[in-house]
């Protein structure tokens, strides 16, 4: 995109600092936003992006520095104050009321009235005109709880535009959208931009950033590192400033000869999603499972982990066949990282120490009592090893970025020292820096002789990380590819329907 910007920025932040419980999250950040531009805000998870947008949205007060709107210093006393001034935020998790209709959510708290009554006809007409302009085919009477996350996100953006937002902040909007929905979002942004709306766009998808952004600002460790026109830089420039490391490091994975089998799956069946699946995983080896959405890979992982009942077949861990329960499989040496971080992984209202030590409490129990001091000391050290920021045991996990939450979950999975680890979408929703750190954690596991079963919809990641890739279709393994195969090879096999027997 290109933009002709006025001399005076719509929003300017000067020297913004923010401290939480003695931890400095922002260190003198400078940032400016102009009318009619899409300004990408990038950085590793924990770099300070979320804190910064919450200051812009009035949800946090800065510890230092100034916020200016239209050249005038302002104090945003809360989200309602910010919204009154034209600042709207659409977070990853929607704030819509699920039991109300789309139309009711659009105007909740800002009803149009005529003759002392709510003017439903006027609201429907205005909403329909906006939806038509944006290409949104969403029934206004539908209950929001019955629509997809993608549709709910579109409704949130439409609500902001209906309330004449002139600054729109989008926090990882593409994380819940497919390609077609993403194209619709980009079209919506083009329309908003042409009407002079200033957009702050946060995403870990760099290819998406370079399609839509006019300018890019990179944060690292709470500081603003660089700002540049998107047309004048490339992905390597962004990654280097985000993580302080060269892009080539992302794909460097040293490997060793695998050892003895640590996981043997034979003729596993579990409903129509898992049909006669067989494979062997060896110590110090990464075996990837790829395929189209609905191919059965998640169901295979759940059946192997004891989270889904198996109708037939065997699962052996270190040569033994443990009972098909999560607890028995865990005790036998299997760790499982679920793909749904928010729904099946983190306990959002609990602390980091609670999330990290959930499965190893017996280590810190003495005479039937929990030794919280020893537990906290061990957790603090482990959080630091994992690179979690901030590494404060009592910190609420829900206040961490997605990448830091994922590191905590990985730490919990690895605490019992498993021999086999199933990683489902381990880098979903995390940025380049966090992805690199997670890859290094996986490489360390392999170097220690752990067998890793990797499920990832990120095909470049899957083929670069794996020693072998099993391709599934319609609940069966339809082919096996060596490490270093291309994503196109995986897709070609994924459209095959003839099952083959995987060779160990």
- Domain boundaries 11-246, corresponding CATH code: 3.40.50.300
- Between CA 240 and CA 489 the distance in angstroms is 30
| Fold equal for 11-246 and 247-333+418-504 | yes
What phi and psi values does residue 241 have, to the nearest 5 degrees? -80, -25
Query: Is 226 within 8 Å of 217 (Cβ atoms)?
Result: yes
User: Of 250, 432, 436, 455, nearest to 337 (Cα)?
Assistant: 455
Q: Is 451 helix (H, G, I), strand (E, B) or coil?
A: strand
92-97: list long-range contacts, CB under 8 Å, 24+ apart.
92/171, 92/172, 92/173, 92/175, 92/176, 92/402, 93/342, 94/149, 94/152, 94/153, 94/155, 94/156, 95/156, 96/144, 96/152, 96/155, 96/156, 97/144
Query: Is 206 within 8 Å of 238 (Cβ atoms)?
Result: yes
What phi and psi values does residue 56 have, to the nearest 5 degrees? -65, -35
Every domain of the chain and the residues it spans: 11-246, 247-333+418-504, 342-417
- Tens digit of each residue's pLDDT (9 = 90 or more) over 466-478: 999 999 998 999 9
pLDDT tens series, the chain, 504 aa: 544 444 457 899 999 999 987 778 899 999 999 999 999 999 876 788 989 999 999 999 999 999 999 999 999 999 999 999 999 998 877 789 999 999 999 999 889 999 989 999 999 999 999 888 877 889 999 999 998 877 888 898 899 889 889 999 998 887 666 677 777 788 888 888 888 999 999 987 788 899 999 999 999 889 999 999 999 999 888 888 887 655 555 555 666 789 999 999 999 999 999 999 999 999 999 999 998 878 999 999 999 999 999 999 999 999 999 999 999 999 999 999 998 876 777 777 789 999 988 878 888 888 888 888 889 898 889 898 888 888 889 988 888 877 888 899 999 999 889 999 999 999 887 777 778 888 989 999 999 999 999 998 888 889 989 999 999 998 999 999 998 888 888 888 887 554 444 444
**Contacts for 341 with CB less than 8 Å, ≥ 6 apart:** 402, 405, 406, 409, 428, 429
- Between CA 474 and CA 494 the distance in angstroms is 9
**Beta strands per DSSP E along 244-298:** 261-270, 274-282, 286-291
- Tens digit of each residue's pLDDT (9 = 90 or more) over 65-76: 999 999 999 999
Which CA distances in Å does 143 have to 131, 140, 147, 177, 382? Answer: 17, 8, 7, 20, 44
- Domain boundaries 247-333+418-504, corresponding CATH code: 3.40.50.300
User: Of 348, 361, 413, nearest to 93 (Cα)?
Assistant: 348
Query: Is 158 within 8 Å of 133 (Cβ atoms)?
Result: no
């Amino acid at each position: 995109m290109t933009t002709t910007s006025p001399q005076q920025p719509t929003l300017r932040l000067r020297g913004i600092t923010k401290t939480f419980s003695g931890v400095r999250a922002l260190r003198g950040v400078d940032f400016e936003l102009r009318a009619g531009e899409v300004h990408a805000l990038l950085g590793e998870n924990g770099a300070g992006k979320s804190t910064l947008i919450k200051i812009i949205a009035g949800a946090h007060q800065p510890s230092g520095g100034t916020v200016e709107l239209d050249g005038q210093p302002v104090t945003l006393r809360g989200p309602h104050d910010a919204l009154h001034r034209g600042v709207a935020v659409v977070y990853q998790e929607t704030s819509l009321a699920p039991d109300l209709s789309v139309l009711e959510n659009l105007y909740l708290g800002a009803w149009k009235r005529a003759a002392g009554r709510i003017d439903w006809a006027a609201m429907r007409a205005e909403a329909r005109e906006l939806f038509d302009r944006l290409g949104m085919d969403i029934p206004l009477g539908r209950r929001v709880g019955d629509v997809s996350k993608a549709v709910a996100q579109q409704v949130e953006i439409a609500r902001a535009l209906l309330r004449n937002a002139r600054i729109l902040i989008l926090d990882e909007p593409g994380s819940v959208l497919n390609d077609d929905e993403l194209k619709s979002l980009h079209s919506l942004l083009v329309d908003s931009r042409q009407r002079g709306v200033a957009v702050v766009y946060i995403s870990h998808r760099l290819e998406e950033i370079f399609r839509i952004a006019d300018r890019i600002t990179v944060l690292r460790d709470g500081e603003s590192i660089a700002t540049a026109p998107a047309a004048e830089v490339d992905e390597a420039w962004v990654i280097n400033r985000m993580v302080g490391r060269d892009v080539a490091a992302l794909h460097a994975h040293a490997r060793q000869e695998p050892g003895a089998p640590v996981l043997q799956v034979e003729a596993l069946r579990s409903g129509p999603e898992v049909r006669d699946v067989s494979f062997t995983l060896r110590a110090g080896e990464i075996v990837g499972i790829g395929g189209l959405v609905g191919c059965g890979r998640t169901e295979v992982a759940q059946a192997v982990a004891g989270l889904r009942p198996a109708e037939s077949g065997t699962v052996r861990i270190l040569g033994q066949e443990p009972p098909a329960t999560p607890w028995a499989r865990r005790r036998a040496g299997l760790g499982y990282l679920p793909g749904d971080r928010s729904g099946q992984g983190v306990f959002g209202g609990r602390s980091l120490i609670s999330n990290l030590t959930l499965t190893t409490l017996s280590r810190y129990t003495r005479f039937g009592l929990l030794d919280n001091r020893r537990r906290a000391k061990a957790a603090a050290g482990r959080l630091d090893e994992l690179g979690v920021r901030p590494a404060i045991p009592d910190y609420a996990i829900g206040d961490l970025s997605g990448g830091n939450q994922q590191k905590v979950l990985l730490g919990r999975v690895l605490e019992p020292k498993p021999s086999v680890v199933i990683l489902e979408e381990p880098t979903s929703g995390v940025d380049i820096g966090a992805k690199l750190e997670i890859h290094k954690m996986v490489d360390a596991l392999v170097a220690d002789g752990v067998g890793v079963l990797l499920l990832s919809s990120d095909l470049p990641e899957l083929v670069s990380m794996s020693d072998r890739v099993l391709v599934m279709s319609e609940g069966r393994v339809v082919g096996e590819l060596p490490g270093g195969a291309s994503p196109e090879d995986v897709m070609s096999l994924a459209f095959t329907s003839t099952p083959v027997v995987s060779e160990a």
